[in-house]
Amino acid sequence: MKHASKVFLAVVLAVLAAPAFAALNVFACEPEWAALAGELGGDKVNVYAATTALQDAHHIEARPSLIARARSADLLICSGSELEIGWVPLLLTQAGNSRIQPGSPGYLEASQFVQRIEIPKVVDRSLGDIHPAGNPHVHTDPRNIARVAEVLTQRLAQLDPADAEVFKARAESFKTRWQGAIARWEKEGARLKGVPVVVFHKDLSYFLRWMGMNEVGSLEPRPGIPPTPAHLAELVEQMKRAPARVIVYSPYNDAKAAQFLSERTGIPAALMPFTVGGTDKAKDLVGLFDDTIARLLAVVK
């Protein structure tokens, strides 16, 4: 009996003490931030991606598995700006984890550190699922990722000072590669400037702005409201008057609406990876933008 209780005590202590020696547990709400945390943290972090490219981060349930992961997280990184309002607040209140509460270094809302666009002047639910703090999909502009990388590096160093030098070195290496890649993308994508495009949801706004592309319509009649036949008919008419060159949609969107519009108008529909894992080639952050631009160049001739 005595022996058993000793073993039990040892197990309990091991469980309680384990997080102190292990790598930082990073809970990333979206795959892009998981990929970034992996780039910056290497083997010093255990990264968990709460969602995949096939899921819509607006509509996720606070599943038991997510609560369990949030409970052990040292750092939570999300897009923020109310993108995850339907589930992250629940994780925070349910998980019993003080390290990731807002205001602590373990809570990072990426969109707070970049300049947000499309901040609505009028906030009303009749306008659809709008975000009063602006468009939350900030990662589609690689320059925003560079900025978030700086903040994330500081946070990682703050939470795990012993490995601060590792994080700094990795951040330097990432920055060099990233700046080089941005210059390359801007060169490759120069041809996309001014190209009129129809989006599914306003989730590529930062990308389009960066590339100088011109968003002329969206398949959703209002943000977050699924395409309706009436709205699609309107779009067909609009495309007859002023055709776009490409219709883009993301892996979590229902491709049928995009294909419908494409068939009716002859405008090519192109699947964008949107985030890491969205397409086979979007294996990492560099692949994400490589593939996005390649896919656009392939249809915009």
Partner 1 sequence: MHRKTLCAMALAVAWSAPLSVRAQDAELGKIRDEIRQMKEAYEKRIEALEKRLQETEAKAGQAADSAAQAESTARAADTASQTAVQASSRPAAENVLNPGISAILNGVYSNLQQDPNAYRINGFVPTLGDVGPGRRGLSLGESELGFTANIDQVFRGSLIASISPDDSHIDVEEGYIQTLGLSNGFTVKAGRFFSAVGYQNQIHAHAWDFTDAPLAMKAFLGNQLNDDGVQVKWIAPTDLYFDVGMELARGRAFPATSGGGNKNGFGAGSLFTHLGGDIGSSLAWQTGLSYLATSPQNRAYADLDSTGTSVTDSFSGDSRLWVVDGVLKWAPNGNPTTNNFKLQGEYFRRNENGALTYDTQAASLGTQSGSYRSRQSGWYLQGVYQFAPMWRVGYRYDQLNAGATGIGLVNTGALTAADFPILAGYNPKRDTWMIDWSPSEFSRLRLQFARDYSRMGFTDNQIFLQYIVSMGAHGAHQF
Buried b or exposed e, range 17-51, using 16+ CB within 10 angstroms:
eeeeeebbbbbbbbbbbbbbbbbbbeebbbbbbbb
Among 24, 34, 51, 79, binds partner 1 (CB under 8 A): 51
Question: How far is Cα 89 from Cα 112, in angstroms, rounded to an integer?
Answer: 17
| Minimum separation from the CB atom of position 71 to partner 1 (A) | 5
Q: Which stretch binds partner 1 (CB under 8 A): 125-133, 161-169, 271-279, 282-290?
A: 125-133
| Minimum separation from the CB atom of position 161 to partner 1 (A) | 15
Beta-carbon neighbour count of residue 255 at 10 Å? 14
**Could you give the maximum distance between any two Cα atoms of the chain, in Å?**
84
Tokens coding 28? 């990333």
By CB under 8 A, is residue 26 in contact with partner 1? no
**Residue partners of 253: CB distance under 8 A and separation at least 6:** 200, 201, 219
By CB under 8 A, is residue 193 in contact with partner 1? no
In 3D space, the residue among 91, 23, 17 whose CA is nearest the CA of residue 61 turns out to be 91
By CB under 8 A, is residue 112 in contact with partner 1? yes
Helix (H, G, I), strand (E, B) or coil at 36: helix
Length of the chain as a residue count:
301
By CB under 8 A, is residue 75 in contact with partner 1? no
| Residue 191 DSSP label | G
Beta-carbon neighbour count of residue 66 at 10 Å? 22
By CB under 8 A, is residue 125 in contact with partner 1? yes
The amino acid present at 239, given as its one-letter code, is M
Interface residues for partner 1 in 242-271 (CB under 8 A)? 252, 254
Q: Which stretch binds partner 1 (CB under 8 A): 87-95, 159-167, 266-274, 277-285?
A: 87-95
Query: Quick one: 48 or 267, whose CB is closer to partner 1?
Result: 48
By CB under 8 A, is residue 286 in contact with partner 1? no
| Minimum separation from the CB atom of position 54 to partner 1 (A) | 4
Query: Quick one: 115 or 298, whose CB is closer to partner 1?
Result: 115
Question: How far is Cα 132 from Cα 182, in angstroms, rounded to an integer?
Answer: 29
Taking only Cα atoms into account, the Rg of the chain, rounded to an integer number of angstroms, comes to 21
Question: How far is Cα 282 from Cα 228, in angstroms, rounded to an integer?
Answer: 30
Query: Quick one: 38 or 251, whose CB is closer to partner 1?
Result: 251
Among 23, 42, 86, 268, binds partner 1 (CB under 8 A): 86
Residues that bind partner 1 (CB under 8 A): 15-16, 18-19, 51-52, 54-56, 59-65, 67-69, 71-72, 82, 85-87, 89-90, 92-101, 103-105, 112-115, 125, 128-129, 143, 147, 150-151, 154-155, 224-226, 252, 254
